[in-house]
Structure 1
Amino acid sequence: MVRRIADTLVLQIKQMIAAEGLAAGTRLSERGLAERFRVSRTPVREAIQRLVREGLLATSEDGAHSISSAGALLVQSGEKQLAPPDPLEQAYFAIAEDRLAGQLPERVTENEFARRYDISRAQLAAVLRRMAQEGWIERLPGHGWRFTPILTSAATYDQGYRFRILIEAAGILEPTFSLNRTALERCEQQQRMLLERINEVSAVDIFNANTQLHEAIAECSGNVFFIDSLKRLNSLRRLMEYRKTFNREASARRCREHLSLIELLLTGQQEAAADFIRLHLRDAAREKSARIDG
């Protein structure tokens, strides 16, 4: 399963505790973990918060974190037998995190990527190919690559959602709107699968399926400007979506809303669908912005 960088860190920290036999009360610092796993402190902070919620780390009055009694039991639990993290996923999310944190310049060579992320040429080629397909990096002549513009702040993220509210609702009401039943039924199947496996799928799985649905609806509008604008915006916001806290309960709720939206469209209720998508996007924007700001 595809993991974002914080997911990988949670696994790595558990493996570290088990493999090194760390005792209850052993302190773990954000800085120390960031240096050990060669990532920025933002995903480390998120991983620590998850481990606190799982009861494996404890937080003292001064804000420091240490291994709890439950966390110390990882030594006997067999946690160290878990499969090692996928190096391609580690590199992919490390690059994404560093780009969002402003730690990578606009232009980077393949040699610089390989040195910074300690991966082979073949692995790097696979990661760069994926990034290029997703639209947030492009090849330059020679061995260089250039990052394309992305949304990097809560303010621009909010503006993107307000723009979506305008164009996606309007697209459903376009006089050229023509329902692509096959595409929507395929999206309906994807949403049902996500809902059934909500505790297993990743943030990337959720983002890809949801953007496919919204873009499929935009394509039904018949307005090329709506379609192109939405696809461009989805490329811009991809990394911000990866960085925000992944809330599975909220994701399940959005899946159910998507299924309701699809039903309205399949039954020819365009005006109701336009009203529904406005509320859906407004609620999603409010919820996600709160998690980014927090």
Structure 2
Amino acid sequence: MTEGLAAQILEHIRGSGLAIGTHITAQELAERFSVSRFPIGQALQLLATKGVLTHERNRGYFVSEAKDTSPETLGLVARDDTSDIYFRIAEDHLHGRLPDPASEAYLKETYGTTKAQLNTVLGRIAQEGWAERRPGYGWSFSPMLTTPESLEQTYRVRLALEPAALLEPGYHLDPETAARCREAELRLLYGAIETDSADALHERGVRFHEAIIGASGNPFFLEAVRRINRVRRLLSYRSMIDRKRYRQQCEEHLQILDLLERGKNEEASQALRRHLEHTIENLQEIRPILER
């Protein structure tokens, strides 16, 4: 599990464009990957031995050099067993093949997991909002995000929220955050669109939108967008089978960044609105992928 988790952390660092010297906290990573801090600590130690991170006593871990490295070049497994189990459960849920409720004994036998693996996967699923533990018996899986219509609805909510966030009176996008976002987009345009995992692609999009919304200074905008991002993962992963549209998305992200850095928030808000509208239009083109 350590190598797989280390690979996921590395992809998170690269996909988010984190600059050298950025502080990496175990607590944030534990919440992001729905695991305890102990395996996170082991993965961070491994990345430190590989030169990706540096460790400073009593201060923690900092990004050293991850721009030109990958899980493969470091001899790490790109995804661990729990990721495979996660995607199998996700596909079965999307196809309506899971009983409701599903007992842990059923899930353990069906997917051939250990108790620890199943706890890790269910913890991640619960955090993303598409399953919850039933009192005294098993797990219930939400029907909310299993259709193309429901995914489009999440984008319509974002269309109402995100452009407005860029117009908040206290809006300020700091240069370091903008630089990280730009580096992540350029990295994709230079080839990572085709090579990054679905996890990494989804994470990069999430990080971009949460970064520019977080700069509004209004925590209610950011919390709403984060909740939406957690529950839309299922169909977002499937939509990544077709990656042709990602070049346009990257270019639109870069345009929005440029406008924000120049203080043209009204134009940036309009550009963000067009960007989300384009995404909704693209969902119609990939509908067969989402419905299969």
Q: Is the 8 A contact 2:128 2:231 kept in 1?
A: no
Counterpart code for 1:200: T
Counterpart code for 1:93: F
Q: Which residue of the other structure, out of 269, 278, 283, is the alignment partner of 1:274? A: 269
Cα root mean square deviation, aligned: 2.8
1:17-56 equivalence runs, <5 A: none
Structure 2 CA distance for partners of 1:129 and 1:258, relative to 1, 3 Å: same
Q: Does 1:241 align with 2:229?
A: no
Match of 1:127 in 2: 121
Structure 2 CA distance for partners of 1:278 and 1:125, relative to 1, 3 Å: same
Partner Cα separation in structure 1 for residue 111 and residue 210 of structure 2: 33
1:75-224 equivalence runs, <5 A: 87-139=81-133, 144-148=138-142, 150-196=144-190, 197-224=192-219
In structure 1, stretches of 5+ residues that fail to align are: 3-82
Match of 1:287 in 2: 282
> TM-score with structure 2 length normalisation?
0.64
3-state SS in 1 of match to 2:205: helix
Counterpart code for 2:267: A
3-state SS in 1 of match to 2:281: helix
Partner Cα separation in structure 2 for residue 186 and residue 266 of structure 1: 13
In structure 2, stretches of 5+ residues that fail to align are: 6-76
Partner Cα separation in structure 2 for residue 135 and residue 151 of structure 1: 10
Structure 1 residues 76-103: Cα deviation after superposition (integer angstroms, max 9, x where no partner): xxxxxxx999543331111001112222
Structure 2 CA distance for partners of 1:271 and 1:152, relative to 1, 3 Å: same
Structure 1 residues 127-147: Cα deviation after superposition (integer angstroms, max 9, x where no partner): 233334434334566784443
Q: Is the 8 A contact 1:149 1:236 kept in 2?
A: no
Structure 1 residues 163-185: Cα deviation after superposition (integer angstroms, max 9, x where no partner): 21221111111223232433332
Q: Is the 8 A contact 1:158 1:289 kept in 2?
A: no
1:246-265 equivalence runs, <5 A: 246-265=241-260
With 284-293 and 133-142 compared, the bigger mean Cα shift is at 133-142
Structure 1 residues 194-233: Cα deviation after superposition (integer angstroms, max 9, x where no partner): 3332221022211111011111211222333322221121
3-state SS in 1 of match to 2:145: coil
3-state SS in 2 of match to 1:246: coil
Q: Is the 8 A contact 1:139 1:146 kept in 2?
A: yes
Partner Cα separation in structure 2 for residue 287 and residue 212 of structure 1: 21
Q: Is the 8 A contact 2:152 2:283 kept in 1?
A: no
Q: Is the 8 A contact 1:108 1:146 kept in 2?
A: yes
Provide the aligned length of Structure 1 versus Structure 2.
214
With 144-153 and 200-209 compared, the bigger mean Cα shift is at 144-153
Counterpart code for 2:253: H
Partner Cα separation in structure 2 for residue 245 and residue 178 of structure 1: 31
Partner Cα separation in structure 1 for residue 175 and residue 137 of structure 2: 43
